[in-house]
Amino acid sequence: MLHFGSQAVSLAQGRQEPPEAAEDAEEPSEAAGEEQLSSDDEQALSSLKQRDREVRAHEQTHRSVGGQYAGSIHLDYQVGPDGERYAVAGSTPIDVAPVQGDPAATLRKMEIVRRAATAPASPSGADHQVAAEASQQAQRARAELAAERYGAARELARGDDTRSAERAPGRSAQPPPPANGPPGGLLGISA
């Protein structure tokens, strides 16, 4: 499984510390007792609320478009100055494994995976990596389909050669007339 999400890339590259708390998706609740916050805290709270909306929308878009191939959304939280938790990062696992023995199904699946990866308004680096992996899997599936078609065409051609050899000796097969006119290639012209 690969994960969508900017945090997955940031953590892998060591650019970001893990958030304070990580749990499954849940909405932040309104503070029970509204305390007076400083202007800095109000600004930080506003920023956290905005980030929470963006992260949830981003991951939900992956989940919706990915359908059966997308797993459950995982959100990482930060506690705001009001004591509530706000989503600051998230990821959605998606299955990028080929469908064994069925390149046509793999191709259909990878198209869905690629669309899911690039569906959010601002895909992250991890999203682009998932889309690239899906594109590679789709290309492999196309190559398998082409090989299957080539093999079927060769079998069909071998069957035609066998039938030609079964014709009576001394009789040559006449080519069919051209599709655009009578035998001999002559066309009737009328005025």
Q: What is the pLDDT of residues 145-168, one digit of tens each?
A: 999 888 888 888 887 655 555 555
* pLDDT of the residue at 4: 60
Which pLDDT belongs to residue 164?
54
Instruction: Judge whether residue 126 has pLDDT over 50.
Output: yes
- Strands (DSSP E) contained in 35-166 are 74-79, 85-94
Closest CA to 79 of 36, 38, 22: 22
Query: How far apart, in Å, are the Cα atoms of 94 and each of 74, 104, 121?
Result: 12, 19, 18
pLDDT for 95 equals: 95
**pLDDT tens by residue, 70-122:** 999 999 999 999 999 999 999 999 999 999 999 999 999 999 999 999 999 99
Q: Is 23 helix (H, G, I), strand (E, B) or coil?
A: strand
Mean pLDDT of 61-72: 96
pLDDT of 52 strictly over 70: yes
Beta strands in 30-171 (DSSP E): 74-79, 85-94
Q: Which helix (H) or strand (E) holds 191?
A: none
Q: Both tokens of residue 25? A: 């998706």
Given this model, what pLDDT does residue 7 score? 53
58-62 long-range Cβ contacts below 8 angstroms, 24+ apart? 58/90, 58/120, 58/121, 58/122, 59/4, 59/5, 59/25, 59/90, 59/91, 59/92, 61/119, 61/120, 62/4, 62/92, 62/94, 62/116, 62/117, 62/119, 62/120, 62/127
Q: What value does the CA radius of gyration of the chain take, rounded to a whole number of Å?
A: 30
Give the predicted TM-score (pTM) of the model. 0.63
DSSP 85-113: EEEEEEEEEE-----TT-HHHHHHHHHHH
The pLDDT of residue 65 is: 97
Residues 10-38 have pLDDT tens digits of 444 444 444 444 444 445 544 444 568 88
